[in-house]
Amino acid sequence: MLYDNLKSAVLERQGDAIRFHPTLLELAGHYRFEPRPVAPARGNVKERVERAIRYVRDSFFAARSFADLNDLNAQAVQWCYGQAADRRCPAVRELRVREAFLQEQPQLVPLPDNPFVTDEVVPVKIGKTPYARFDLNDYSVPHIYVQDTLTIRATPKRVSIHDGATLLADHVRSYDRGAQIEDATTSARSLTTKATHASIAEPTASRTRFQPAASWSYVPLHAVATLAP
């Protein structure tokens, strides 16, 4: 697969010595393909990489409206199997893209059963309020984690917040700006944690209180006075 020498693919290059981005190598290993960056200053090869991007931009995105990301993805699937597959194959003009694909399909390696994990994983510092800032929005976390550093895992649809391997909050991802997203389970976890802390502290506090035994007998104060020397 041809790549331009962008930083998400090639971290460093000295002649033919190439240091690929480790995530790209993981992706290539998962789907069993070989990444090939184009040679520097080879405009004719670079054009082959960028031509497909220009085709998608001009033929799919131009003047297209959509309600949300799910709607856009649904339209993209329909476009891929329709208009894009019906166009002439650039390499073999007498074939359409869908016909060329049917010829090549027996030579292709089947996709793995498990898709490559593309979650965005970033550390986040919680401030004085129990919210994690991610992509210009604030997502709630249990209040006991203020001033801590946690980990965010983000997919196109969800934003989850973790303390190590422990899940603290799971939110629907927002694409607004400045939104404050609350998770009902976060409040429940906060209350549960608070109750747990209280139950742990309660026996220690009770030991400092005066607890009369049930078998004790009480002596009237006037009787105590008569016993004094």
Which position has the token pair 């959509």? Answer: 66
Residue 150 clears pLDDT 60, i.e. is over it: yes
Please give the pLDDT value at position 15.
Answer: 81
> For position 68, what pLDDT does the model report?
87
First and final C-alpha spacing in the chain? 104
The per-residue pLDDT for range 105-142, each reduced to its tens digit, is 999 989 999 999 999 999 999 999 999 999 999 999 99
**Nearest alpha carbon to residue 172 among 186, 156, 188:** 156
Instruction: Check if the beta carbon of residue 161 is closer than 8 Å to that of residue 141.
Output: yes
Most confident option among 49-63, 132-146, 191-205: 132-146
Confidence of residue 215 (pLDDT cuts 50, 70, 90): very low
DSSP-assigned letters across all residues of 83-146: IIHHSBPSS-TTSBHHHHHHHHGGGSPPPPSSPPP--EEEEEE--SSSEEEETTEEEE--GGGT
- Residue with more model confidence, 60 or 91: 60
Span 146-152, mean pLDDT? 97
Residue 169's region, left for phi above 0, alpha for psi from -120 to 50, else beta, is beta
The mean pLDDT of 216-229, rounded to a whole number, is: 44
DSSP 8-state assignment for residue 61: I
